[in-house]
Amino acid sequence: MPEFPGFLPSSIKDMKKSGYDECDVIIVTPDAYVDHPSFAMAILGRFLQRNGYRVGVLSQPGWKDPESFLKLGVPRIAFAVSGGQMDSMVLNYTATKKPRNEDLFCEGGNPYFSKKGEGKKYRIRPDRVLNVYCSQIKSVCKEKPVIIGGIEASLRRIAHYDYWSGKVRRSILFDSKADMLIYGMGEYPLLDAVRAFESGIPIDEMRIGNSAVPVRSTDGYDDFILLPSYEDVKNSKDDFAKAHLLFEKNRDEKVVFQKQDSRYMIQYPSRKISQEELDFIYESRFMRKPHPDYRDIPAFGMIKNSITSHRGCFGNCSFCSIASHQGPEVISRSRESILNEVRALADMDYFKGTISDIGGPSANMYAAGCSAGGCSRHDCLKEGRGCKHLISGNTEYISLLEDAGKIKGVRHVFVNSGLRFDPCLMDEKFLEKMLKNHISGQMKVAPESGSEKVLKLMNKPETAIFSEFLSLFNRIKKKEGIRKYVIPYIIIGHPGEGEIESEETAEFLLENNLKGKQFQIFTPTPATRSTAMYYLGFDPLTGEKTVAEKNLRTLERRKEKLIRKIS
C-alpha cells in the first residue's frame, strides 16, 4: 500500500480522502498528533503503513464520552492504545503531588479541554490514561482486541509500587483489561501482533517478543522465571524485593510469569533489533509538523529541529527508566540513515539552519559497542572507568556531526541531549571538538549528587570522576578561549539522602563553582531500583538501609535551600 500523501487519517473525512472504508488499526493517544519521528503515534503509524496497513490516529479523545473512541469507526483488526510520550501520573503531577497546569503535548500547553473562563474543566489526559481509555473502548467495542504500549505500559507491566496511591498495584495489563501489552520500543512487536490478530491466532499461542498477555497457567513452559505473585509482593516487602531483583537481573532474556489473580501474566523475551531494522523505521516519510487541527504544541517546538541517532542506554542509573523501556543495549542508526533525515529536515520551511540535537538518551553513546560481543550484565561503565571491552563511538559520532554540518542549508549542529562525563566516553579530543563546534553555550551533564553515599546508591560515578571532567572542561575552555558553561542536573531526596548528604551536595557544587537551577525532587517511577529502595527502606540488591525523606514540604525546603546556597 502506498504511503498516505499527507497526515495519517484522524477523521472520517480524512479516511474518505485516502480511500479508506475502514482502518485496519486505530492508534489511540492522549498526545496531540504530531507527524514527526520523535512522536510515538507517528512513528508507529507510519511503520504499520509501510507494511501495508491502513492506520488511523485518534488523538486526545473526549474520554468521558465512550462514543468519542469510535470517531474513526471500528478498526478491522485492533485498537493500539498508547499511554503517550510520558507516564500520565508523572506528567499530570509534580514530584510533590501537585497537579501540573501545563501539558507540553497539548495545544498551547493547556492540559484541559475547556479554555480559560469556560466553566468546569477536565483534563485532556486522564490519570492512569491506559486504564481509562481501555475501559471506554471495551464499553463500546468488545469484539476487537486492544493492545497497550508506551512507557506507561512498559514500566507497569509487573506488579509495582505506585507512588501516587502509595500502594502496590497489579500489572497494568490486568488493571486496564487490555488483551496484550507491548513493552519497550514497539514497532516490530506491534507489527507481529497485528499480523497475528489478523490471522486469528489464539492470543496464548502468539508468543511475540516484547509482549505480555494473560494466561491461565504456566503449562507448556519449562525454562522460565516465576516472580512472587501480586498478592505476595503486596503483602511482603521481602517478596517485593525478590520480585524486583529477579525481574531486573533477567533483562527480558527469559520468559517471565507472575500470578495476578486467578491468572498469570506471561512476558515474552525482548526482540532484538538490528541497525538495518532501525534504519527502516526512520526511512518512513513524515510531515515533520503537527496535524492541522493543532497550531502550537510546545513539545514539538522543542524537538522539531532534532534527530534521534540511537536507542538504549547502558548507564544503569538506579533511578532511570530508560533501560527498562528502551533496553540496556545501544542500537545506533547508520550514518546514511541519519544524514538522510538531516536532508529532510533541511528542506522544511521552518528550518533556519540550526540542528538543535543529534542524539539519544546519552548522546555520546552513539556507535558505542562491545569487543566481546556483549554480556548479560551490561555494566559497561563500571563506576565511570569503563569495561575493558567497551568500544567508544566518539570518533564516529564527531564525524557524523561534522558531516551533518556540511549538508546544504545546515549552518550549525548542536547537541542538547545529555552527555555522559565518564572518561571512557569523554576523552579530551572528543570534548574539545564538542565545545568548539557542537555546544551552543551550556553543556548539560548530570552528576546528580555530591554525596558519595547517595551516588553509590544511584549507581553514578563518584565525585572524583566528575571533578576530573570539570578539570578537563576548564583546561580546554582556557586553551581555546571559549565561554561555555557546565549546567549540572541534581536530584534531591533520592533514597539515602538526608540533611547531611544534602549539605555535601551543596558544598560540592560550591567548591566546583557550579550554578544553575536544574534541580528536581526525586520522583519514584515504577520498575526502577531507586523506587524499590524508596518503598522498601532498603536496597533490594545489597540489603543496605536506604531511608527516604517522604515529607514533601521538607523536600521542597531542601530544594529551596540548595538553590539559595549556590545562587
Tens digits of residue pLDDT in 21-74? 999 999 999 999 999 999 999 999 999 999 999 999 999 999 999 999 999 999
Q: Rounded to whole angstroms, how far apart are CA atoms 172 and 151? A: 12
Q: What is the mean pLDDT of residues 369-392?
A: 86
pLDDT of residue 517: 74
pTM: 0.96
Q: 441-567 — its CATH code?
A: 3.30.750.200
pLDDT of residue 1: 41
Residues of the chain with CATH 3.40.50.2300: 12-211
pLDDT of residue 516: 76
pLDDT of residue 127: 98
Which three cell numbers mark 448? 546528580
Radius of gyration of the chain (CA): 23
Q: Rounded to whole angstroms, how far apart are CA atoms 530 and 496? A: 10
- β partners of residue 212: 181, 267
In this predicted model, what pLDDT tens digit does every residue of 132-185 receive, in sequence order?
999 999 999 999 999 999 999 999 999 999 999 999 999 999 999 999 999 999
- Count the helix, strand and coil residues of the chain and give each as a percent rounded to the nearest 5: 35, 15, 45
Query: Residue 390 above 80 pLDDT?
Result: yes
Spell out where 328-441 has E strands. 331-332, 354-355, 357-359, 369-370, 390-391, 412-413
pLDDT of residue 515: 83
CA angle 385, 386, 392 (to 5 degrees): 120
Query: Residue 2 above 50 pLDDT?
Result: no
In this predicted model, what pLDDT tens digit does every residue of 245-256 receive, in sequence order?
999 999 999 999
| Among the listed residues 98, 84, 123, the one whose alpha carbon sits nearest the alpha carbon of residue 521 | 98
Residues of the chain with CATH 3.30.750.200: 441-567
Q: What is the mean pLDDT of residues 494-508?
A: 96
Query: Residue 547 above 80 pLDDT?
Result: yes
DSSP letter for each residue of 107-155? GGG--BSSPTTSSS--BSS-TTHHHHHHHHHHHH--SS-EEEESHHHHH
Count CA within 13 A, CB hemisphere, residue 135. Answer: 13
Count CA within 13 A, CB hemisphere, residue 539. Answer: 17
User: Which class in CATH covers the domain with range 12-211?
Assistant: alpha beta
Q: Are 431 and 385 in contact (CB under 8 A)?
A: no
pLDDT of residue 119: 59
Max intra-chain CA distance, the chain: 68
Q: What is the mean pLDDT of residues 492-513?
A: 96
pLDDT of residue 4: 47
Q: Rounded to whole angstroms, how far apart are CA atoms 496 and 533? A: 9
> Binning pLDDT at 50, 70 and 90, where does residue 120 land?
low
Rounded alpha-carbon distances, angstroms, from residue 119 to 92, 109, 114, 115: 20, 18, 7, 8
Which three cell numbers mark 384? 565511570
Rounded alpha-carbon distances, angstroms, from residue 476 to 229, 428, 471, 513: 54, 8, 9, 17
In this predicted model, what pLDDT tens digit does every residue of 470-497 receive, in sequence order?
999 999 999 999 999 999 999 999 999 9
